[in-house]
Amino acid sequence: MSIVRSPAVAGMFYPADSQQLARDVQRLMASAYPHPLTPKALIVPHAGYIYSGEIAATAYATLSSIATRIRRVVLLGPTHRVAVNGLALPGSDVFETPLGRVLIDASAARAIDHLPQISINSQAHLMEHSLEVQLPFLQSILPDFTLLPLAVGTASSEEVAEVLDVLWGGNETLIVISSDLSHYLPYVTAQRVDGETVQSILDLNQPISHEHACGGTPINGLIIASQKHHLIPHLLDLRNSGDTSGSKDRVVGYAAIAFTQEIGYEE
């Protein structure tokens, strides 16, 4: 019998009704600007869809021309509720959302389970939203894929980069880093701080602190991996909750960033 990780934030971060969820994601994707890129990696926000869904859709819209070739998604997001040393696999066989089930890539999990920074921690995944909220977008845009979800806790940039390097693969593998930016700053301050954070990412300068991006640890690992594998980051969208839905007194920042292969460089 398969071990299923059931949805934890359906009905809170996104609709629990499958038809409503499908309509919402399709609407967000239809309104997103389709940047003509072929990403190897994405940074995508993970707030409720009413806040960050438009920004997330901008990232996922870049996959439209390459969706059929992507067969595996390596998804990294920060832990918000359970302390983790290193990076945690879920110990499950399937992740479920209202749109259906996604198989965990067992071979990819085996490829990294010997690394000292890797553990199995089902509790870290049980209520974690940073990974879950990405799945309905992936299920809507990719026709057939397996998933390797990693909940990232206390780890060095190099440890994350090592994991990404093992899982890098070819054109069939997409890397997604789930992260919001600054939290609860005044609107104008957040614009300045988030602009500086994004510029550091675009310049491939790390470390990015957790105060500036809750997914700073996996972002830092991606920056190191991008330098090694000659990826170029492209800013797709940068806004905050004051732009999308909510007060401008205390906002949360969101960015969509795509990483593409340097022209003339082949893996």
Residue 266 lies in a domain: no
- With a cut of 80, say whether residue 93 has pLDDT above it: yes
- Count CB-CB contacts under 10 A for residue 247: 10
Residue 267 lies in a domain: no
Residue 181 lies in a domain: yes
- Count CB-CB contacts under 10 A for residue 122: 15
- With a cut of 90, say whether residue 205 has pLDDT above it: yes
- Number of compact structural domains in the chain: 1
pLDDT digits (tens, 9 = 90+) for 70-86: 999 999 999 988 888 89
Kindly report the CATH number assigned to the domain that includes residue 41: 3.40.830.10
Residue 239 lies in a domain: yes
pLDDT digits (tens, 9 = 90+) for 43-59: 999 999 999 999 999 99
Terminal Cα-to-Cα distance of the chain (whole angstroms): 38
The boundaries of the domain holding residue 215 are 4-261
Residue 151 lies in a domain: yes
What's the one-letter identity of residue 130?
S
**pTM for the full predicted model:** 0.96
pLDDT digits (tens, 9 = 90+) for 109-118: 999 999 999 9
